[in-house]
Amino acid sequence: MMRLVIDTNKLFTFFWKGSLIKKLSLAGHSLFSPELALEELDRNKEEIITKANISEKEFQFLKNILKNNVAFIPFEKYHEHIPRALELLKDNAKDIDFLALAMYLRSPIISDDRELKNQSEIRVFNNEELGELI
């Protein structure tokens, strides 16, 4: 099984039925994301609640389950890879933490982000390629 870095958009899907993260976890993969992704989930809580059609209580419950399925890594662990990630993603700074974490873990990323997919240092699995992992 693989270690995989999950981007924020894929983390959002955890709150939907048929969650990708649940499937990857059940398939035996170890899942990781930067700690800052939890803050992004909280910033987008209302949108997630609306789109997933869940209550705030369900959101908190599912977020706790998510934290048991995904290891959220502090910036201090992967910060030395930020300069190289910035170099590779000059025009896409929002994803540098995911790329830096993937470099630190030497792991692929799950993302549909085109710019992230176009860099050549770390493999990025998009939706079409997920069948290989599940």
Kindly list the domain boundaries of the chain, sorted by start residue.
3-132
Question: For the whole prediction, is pTM greater than 0.95?
Answer: no
Cα 40 from chain centroid?
Answer: 11
Cα–Cα distances in Å, from 74 out to 20, 68, 83, 101, 125? 23, 16, 17, 9, 23
Tens of pLDDT along the chain (134 residues) come to: 889 999 998 898 888 877 777 788 878 889 999 999 999 999 999 999 999 999 999 999 999 999 999 999 999 999 999 999 999 988 778 899 999 999 999 999 999 888 888 888 999 998 778 776 66
CATH of domain 3-132: 3.40.50.1010
Q: For residue 126, give the nearest of 116, 108, 107, 112 by alpha carbon.
A: 112
